[in-house]
Amino acid sequence: MSFAFTARLPLSRHEVDRDHIRRASDTLFETLRTDAAARVLPLWRGKALVAVASAAERETGRAHLELVRPGLVPDSLLTLYLGLSLATDLEEPAGTPLLATVLSDEAAADLEPDEGRWIGLRQLATVLPDRDTGAFAEALALANWHASHGHCPRCGAETTVEDGGWTRRCPVDGSQVFPRTDPAVIVLITDDADRILLGSNAMWEQNRYSLLAGFVEPGESLESAVLREMHEESGLRVTDAEYLGSQPWPFPASIMCGFTARLADDQQPQDLLPDGEEILDLRWFTRDEVRAEAGRVILPGAASIARALLEHWLGEPLPAGADGVRA
């Protein structure tokens, strides 16, 4: 069940064999830089380079990433090994080694001066092929980790990159640090009348509603985080937390773990108590209310797991424009 749900999530789509064995090779980058079959995914300020659209793409609104031959990439700040492409329906054959490279402003402008062709993952999540979405999510998550983990947590020395970008090592004490990701739970809460609970976050524009979510704390299970976070944000206790699927959310470093839960038997739906800091408003919605109010209230964007959970409960896609984005 959860595998099928996860497979439909835009950023969980992947067609890359991460090929962890090859990461350890000392000559990996040296070899790949001269490998005419290898391709590089350039990253600039968290954005990737989108290829000029084909006629078919212009018609369907689809897009694909521009991958560059290693010899054509300007000097980069950081190079990462993503693995081997598994796609059989793209220009590059299955087995193509994929690298990512983080470019400075100057290098990015050298490669492609038109800033309109550099686009972020959120905007591209639903229009790229599986391979490109997975490679972009992998590259962005890993690059974000490097950007904030340049020093040894033990002694503060500057660390160096190893294992194709999958490790950093301290030259002073030899300790290694590994890329990390921060789990968060996001929960579709239903009551006895099969309504769902949506909240409006203080950080969002007014009138945007989504599922409640929060970070898992150290020493806590995902299931316990569901119960704690939902109580903190709504004042209500939930029960029967069930895992449905997950999606990476590298903005900058999360993985969203989607759950369903129901209001505990001794709780009253009307006793909602938004925390007033993170959550400003809470509302229960029937399916008819979601359909009727989509557009008047702004609902989760197409790239999000919140959207997928909502549609899973609704039993149908949200109407176009429900996320405030004009179709």
> What share of residues in the chain are helix, strand, coil (percent, to 5)?
30, 30, 45
| Shortest Å, Cβ 79 to Zn ion | 23
**Minimum gap (Å) between residue 171 Cβ and Zn ion:** 8
Taking the C-alpha atoms of residue 327 and residue 323, their distance in angstroms, rounded to an integer, is 10
Q: To which residue do tokens 């004009």 refer? A: 326
Residue (146 or 312) nearer to Zn ion, CB: 146
The CB-of-155 to Zn ion minimum distance in angstroms stands at 3
Smaller CB distance to Zn ion: residue 18 or 169? 169
The helix/strand count (H/E) of the chain reads as: 10, 15
- Taking the least distance from each CB to Zn ion, the nearer of 117 and 169 is 169
Q: What are phi and psi of 184, to 5 degrees?
A: -130, 150
In whole angstroms, how close is the CB of 176 to Zn ion at the nearest point?
A: 10
The pair of three-digit structure tokens given for residue 98, joined into one six-digit string: 């994929």
- What is the residue whose two structure tokens read 């591209």? 124
Residue 156 contacts by C-beta under 8 Å, 6 or more apart in sequence?
none
Among all chains, which residue has been given the structure tokens 């002073």?
Answer: 172
Nearest Cα neighbor of 321 from 304, 299, 306, 303 is 299
Burial of 67-80, coded b for 16+ CB within 10 Å and e otherwise, reads bbebeebeebeebb
Residues at the site binding Zn ion, with contacts judged by CB under 5 A: 152, 154-155, 157, 170, 172-173
Q: How far is the CB of 151 from Zn ion (least distance, A)?
A: 8
Q: Which is nearer to Zn ion, 167 or 201 (CB)?
A: 167
> Residue 149 contacts by C-beta under 8 Å, 6 or more apart in sequence?
159, 168, 177
Intra-chain end-to-end CA distance of the chain, in Å? 31
Min CB(144)–Zn ion separation in Å: 22
- Pick 147 or 157: Cβ nearer Zn ion: 157
Task: Judge whether 203 and 210 are in contact, CB under 8 Å.
Answer: no
Q: Work out how close the CB of 166 gets to Zn ion at its nearest, in angstroms, rounded to a whole number.
A: 18
Nearer to Zn ion among residue 25 and residue 175 (C-beta)? 175
For residues 155 and 320, which CB has a smaller minimum distance to Zn ion in the complex? Answer: 155
In the complex, minimum distance from the CB of residue 80 to Zn ion, in angstroms, rounded to a whole number: 22
Amino acid at residue number 139: A
- Is the Cβ of residue 170 or residue 226 nearer to Zn ion in the bound state? 170
The C-alpha atoms of residue 162 and residue 179 are separated, in whole angstroms, by: 12
